[in-house]
Structure 1
């Protein structure tokens, strides 16, 4: 038996309805089972809850979703419901998830009961597997490249949602073909998957769900040609989006020696405002300490937060920061530089970029460098410098190299390198002087760049 148990899909809503449906199913199963085993319930007492083939009863279209034939049927359905309910409700929210789950489940139950009645079948229908098949198809549209974690006996396996979902849908399509298109469980699964696909496509087409560019349509341009998946409004929005069309690499490589317009735009000719504030704050603290000399000292040490540190904490406290930063880090981790750049610009526009960790910023700049997008790397390096953290000087070294080699502005590179302060001399005269690596690199580059000015 294949048991899915988790996923790595980013989620934005609590799975309240998913958990409630699972709880109701489990309670209903064990209540009925205990009643049957104890003799207090018979088949006639519970058949009104199933899809009976000899009648058309709309009430059974709902109740049959909470009835299961045996314990293996219950366990399998509930694990599948947990994982794919987690994905769909986590992205679409409880209201839309409820509409999809119950809408697909009730519609398939109605079609199935009519089919059983017309064909004269004697086997009742139970279970929520058709609704779950619909959720699997919605999850395929919302997060095709994310992983489903599942167990096969004692082996733990990770599989992309697209592969996992299509495998089971393909098995159901094969089952329908083998049965000669009779009314079977496989038929219900295929109907549920079809309705789920339509529901998921509608939510994406109308922008009711934001999958941060990871949905199947956004990741595959060839799907955008189908009106059922991509609306005219979305196409028009793509045409008017000019932010992504600017190519800073081409612009920077076209610079000549005396043209500083782009350098000013990139913030390379001025000291960042955050850095100015930090310097002013440090001068104020130094003056205050001079005035307090000779006075009674405090018994505790006051922890001072710099302006840069306060800005970082302010960004990280924003409600939108965690979600945007998570998508940025995951895109960078997955090597999806297009989405990483889009999220970086979104964070920057929202004035939340200073909340990103220094290690993430330097990793982002290095990845852009590997793609020869050096001028795209200027902004994350400037943010790194503005944060005034331990990796500030490393960011200045890299920025100076870009200014000299890409922008052909050795004068700017020299100014950037001169901002790196040398460590204070040793307190004891005979103590050996240890030159930090960043100072050694600074001196080498200064010597090299001054020869070209």
Structure 2
């Protein structure tokens, strides 16, 4: 027996709505006969009518204690993952929308194409929809399971959400294939999963959820799905990193130097190293005053082009050229962010450290996020909890609620590892 009880996905919002939904399900179960619905059939999904009210109410009705408890355990687990990203208000609306869609896709075809006999109840359709949402938003995060085998062997195991989703899809699909493609519990579960997919993609596309670059599309290398200015994949699973508008290399290059975008007058100012300071386009004694491109500009243009094309080796080489010419200080934050995120795709942690340190040293909105990334690398890849603690303690205040939550979690992990190391050093050798 496997029972889910938690997740390693980042939980930035307390699961208020999830607890409320569990409480509502339990209360309705107690108030409507504890499975013996009797006079409450009008609350379940009846196939002899089309009733939008039942699309919602049927998702809160259950036929037995085991039916209720099983559904609520999985609801808690998926609620942690999804509400943890959305907050209670968005999650509540999402749950209501999934219930409506799941109820409609179950009731309408049965009413139109069958004799309308029978009905359905339970939250499992919506829970399977939440599973589909979870696998699109956080496929590489784990679900913590407690397992028991013959009451002799027990323990815990972590299973990736993608594996959980594939397993349950396979089980339900095989049952449907074996018993025939008719309305049944496995078919309702599959319909629930089909409902969750468009909801997940829609919210991701329109920036209604921040998956921090760990959504399914980003991990498959398809690129950011959101139409908003979302960041590329982060360097640590579930860690909030950078959100920045797309950089434009051409707009960052200004007449042989690397300067921020400015006015038309500034765009026409020539690079003054060895020049007369005359505007571009003017001529003196029949010769153009246009300067030659300097090393910084050339290196930056190649650097930005390599990032745009996802050519990581070329980007690393160009970044080294920028460092050799002392040009990194002039590279815009957004371009450094894009470079860091490109390196994170292949887990090149050592190479990420240097651009992260440059970004952390600046007084910009990305500085604290960069410090979090550095702390993660020091803690989990360099096994240096002392450095991680020092970096986390030097973060600039005030912090947002999300950053403060991640910092607190990392400090707790770093202190725990430091204590383990100190205890190991003090244990006497035999």
Indicate whether the TM-score tops 0.5: yes
Answer whether contact 1:213 1:339 (CA < 8 A) is retained.
no
Tell me by how many angstroms 1:343 deviates. Answer: 6.9
Secondary structure of 2:62's partner? Answer: coil
2:132 counterpart residue number = 137
1:28-56 alpha-carbon deviations (Å, 9 max, x no partner): 2123346x8xxxxx743221211123333
1:324-349 alpha-carbon deviations (Å, 9 max, x no partner): xxxx9xx99x9563996687676554
The Cα RMSD (Å) is 4.4
Structure 1 or 2, whichever has the larger Rg, is 1
Tell me by how many angstroms 1:244 deviates. Answer: 8.2
Answer whether contact 2:206 2:228 (CA < 8 A) is retained.
no
Secondary structure of 2:24's partner? Answer: helix
1:27 counterpart residue number = 27
Which of 62, 68, 72 matches 1:78?
72
Matched, 1:197 2:206: no
Q: Measure the CA separation in 1 of the matches of 2:71 and 2:107.
A: 20
Which of 32, 39, 48 matches 2:42?
48
Which of 356, 363, 375 matches 1:360?
375
Matched, 1:186 2:198: no
Further displaced range: 52-61 or 4-13 = 52-61
Q: Measure the CA separation in 2 of the matches of 1:336 and 1:261.
A: 21
2:215 counterpart residue number = 215
Matched, 1:337 2:349: yes
Alpha-carbon spacing, 1:204–1:355, altered in 2? closer, same or farther (3 Å): closer
2:97 counterpart residue number = 103
Q: Measure the CA separation in 2 of the matches of 1:358 and 1:220.
A: 22
Answer whether contact 2:356 2:370 (CA < 8 A) is retained.
no
Further displaced range: 147-156 or 19-28 = 147-156
Secondary structure of 1:200's partner? Answer: helix
Q: Measure the CA separation in 2 of the matches of 1:164 and 1:8.
A: 14
Alignment of 1:303-382 (within 5 A): 337=349, 347=360, 348=362, 349-350=364-365, 352-353=367-368, 356=371, 360=375, 363=378
Secondary structure of 1:145's partner? Answer: coil
Tell me by how many angstroms 1:165 deviates. Answer: 1.3
Tell me by how many angstroms 1:84 deviates. Answer: 0.7
Question: In proportion to residue count, which structure has more helix?
Answer: 1
Alignment of 1:141-180 (within 5 A): 141-153=136-148, 154-180=154-180
Gaps of 5+ in 1: 37-41, 268-327, 368-379, 388-453
Q: Measure the CA separation in 2 of the matches of 1:91 and 1:338.
A: 29
Tell me by how many angstroms 1:219 deviates. Answer: 1.3
Tell me by how many angstroms 1:19 deviates. Answer: 1.1
Further displaced range: 184-193 or 108-117 = 108-117
Answer whether contact 1:19 1:82 (CA < 8 A) is retained.
yes
1:414 counterpart residue number = none
Alpha-carbon spacing, 1:131–1:143, altered in 2? closer, same or farther (3 Å): same
Answer whether contact 2:356 2:371 (CA < 8 A) is retained.
no
Secondary structure of 1:158's partner? Answer: strand
Tell me by how many angstroms 1:77 deviates. Answer: 0.7
Answer whether contact 2:105 2:191 (CA < 8 A) is retained.
no
Matched, 1:250 2:347: no
Tell me by how many angstroms 1:87 deviates. Answer: 0.9
Answer whether contact 2:175 2:186 (CA < 8 A) is retained.
yes
Gaps of 5+ in 2: 149-153, 233-244, 250-303, 331-339, 395-430
Alpha-carbon spacing, 1:364–1:67, altered in 2? closer, same or farther (3 Å): closer
TM-score by length of 2: 0.57
Tell me by how many angstroms 1:137 deviates. Answer: 0.8
TM-score by length of 1: 0.55
1:398-448 alpha-carbon deviations (Å, 9 max, x no partner): xxxxxxxxxxxxxxxxxxxxxxxxxxxxxxxxxxxxxxxxxxxxxxxxxxx
Further displaced range: 66-75 or 10-19 = 10-19
Answer whether contact 2:49 2:116 (CA < 8 A) is retained.
no
Tell me by how many angstroms 1:188 deviates. Answer: 1.8
Q: Measure the CA separation in 1 of the matches of 2:131 and 2:381.
A: 37
Alpha-carbon spacing, 1:77–1:181, altered in 2? closer, same or farther (3 Å): same
Answer whether contact 1:115 1:183 (CA < 8 A) is retained.
no
Answer whether contact 1:102 1:131 (CA < 8 A) is retained.
no
Tell me by how many angstroms 1:206 deviates. Answer: 1.9
2:10 counterpart residue number = 10
Alpha-carbon spacing, 1:345–1:71, altered in 2? closer, same or farther (3 Å): farther
Secondary structure of 1:6's partner? Answer: strand
1:306-341 alpha-carbon deviations (Å, 9 max, x no partner): xxxxxxxxxxxxxxxxxxxxxx9xx99x95639966
Tell me by how many angstroms 1:252 deviates. Answer: 7.2
Tell me by how many angstroms 1:92 deviates. Answer: 2.3
